[in-house]
């Protein structure tokens, strides 16, 4: 399957990351504190360094976890030092709603590769673009899946974001939190640079183009198999 878009595996399970590192479809990785907590990670840096001992070349994003902007910068500089393939995820604001645009500009000028996360509007992209464009490379992650959760069409919004970025060197738009395999097709068709996908969603990629009559029969067979396994009967 040929995609223009780059697929980044999204997760914090070491075994899953190593499995995806062997998948030729995968061009990078992303993590976040929520995924780490779900995976049972309690020691942040040892986990990250273990991952980096295996993932040496593909880009991988690790996120700061402080809510204080000064401490956020300290963490970002430390995380960045772990490897040339490391991107530092910085949220678009802290929990008080204070923008991290100035921080992003400082980090970019200090040579930190950035992944600005938790964005949901073209205005967010427009605000961060000047700040990150002065750095070595940057990813702007827009949570298109969460946009869709509100009943809005994420395709329209992501097209607007792409127009804002234009041909800015070394800055890429990432379609974050996809909800279904269709989002991969949508993101690829509009020219989005990157999409993050969980391992479960990546496993569905071979379904693309599957014959729908065959799919219907497979579904009927599943219902039949499960009914028999459950031992259902009506007297």
Map residue 230 onto helix, strand or coil.
helix
pLDDT in tens, 79-122: 999 999 999 999 999 999 999 999 999 999 999 999 999 999 99
Supply 60's token pair. Answer: 């991988």
Average pLDDT over residues 182-195: 98
Residue in this structure with the two tokens 């949570």, named with its chain if needed: 143
Average pLDDT over residues 62-80: 98
Q: 6-210 — its CATH code? A: 3.20.20.70
Q: What mean pLDDT is reported for the chain?
A: 97
Domain ranges of the chain: 6-210
Does the structure show a pLDDT above 80 at 172? yes
Neighbour count for residue 11 (Cβ, 10 Å): 24
Can you list the positions of beta strands (E) in the chain?
6-10, 26-30, 60-63, 86-91, 114-119, 138-142, 171-175, 194-197
Neighbour count for residue 131 (Cβ, 10 Å): 22
Fill in the DSSP letter of residue 8.
Answer: E
Residues β-bridged to residue 89: 63, 115
> Is the alpha carbon torsion for 18, 23, 24, 25 positive or negative?
negative
Supply 71's token pair. Answer: 């401490």
> What's the Rg (C-alpha) of the chain?
20
pLDDT confidence band for 2 (50 / 70 / 90): confident
Average pLDDT over residues 118-144: 97
Does the structure show a pLDDT above 90 at 199? yes
Does the structure show a pLDDT above 80 at 1? no
The pLDDT of residue 120 is 98
Helices (H), the chain: 14-21, 33-38, 44-54, 69-80, 101-109, 122-132, 144-149, 154-165, 182-190, 199-202, 212-230
pLDDT confidence band for 227 (50 / 70 / 90): very high
């Amino acid at each position: 399957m040929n995609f223009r878009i780059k697929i980044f595996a999204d997760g914090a399970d070491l075994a899953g990351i190593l499995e995806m590192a062997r998948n030729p479809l995968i061009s990078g990785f992303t993590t976040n504190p929520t995924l780490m907590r779900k995976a049972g990670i309690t020691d942040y840096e040892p986990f990250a360094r273990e991952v980096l001992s295996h993932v040496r070349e593909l880009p991988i994003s690790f996120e700061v976890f402080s809510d204080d902007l000064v401490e956020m910068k300290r963490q970002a500089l430390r995380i960045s030092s772990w490897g040339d393939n490391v991107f530092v995820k910085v949220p678009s604001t802290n929990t008080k709603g204070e923008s991290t645009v100035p921080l992003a500009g400082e980090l970019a000028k200090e040579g930190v590769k950035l992944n600005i996360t938790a964005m949901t509007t073209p205005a967010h992209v427009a605000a961060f673009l000047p700040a990150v464009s002065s750095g070595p490379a940057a990813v702007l992650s827009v949570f298109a899946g969460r946009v869709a959760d509100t009943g809005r069409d994420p395709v329209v919004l992501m097209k607007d974001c792409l127009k804002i970025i234009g041909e800015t060197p070394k800055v890429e738009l990432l379609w974050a939190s996809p909800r279904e395999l269709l989002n991969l097709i949508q993101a690829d068709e509009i020219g989005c640079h990157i999409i993050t996908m969980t391992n479960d969603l990546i496993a569905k990629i071979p379904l693309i183009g599957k014959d729908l009559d065959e799919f219907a029969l497979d579904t009927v067979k599943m219902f039949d198999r499960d009914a028999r396994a459950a031992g259902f009967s009506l007297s």
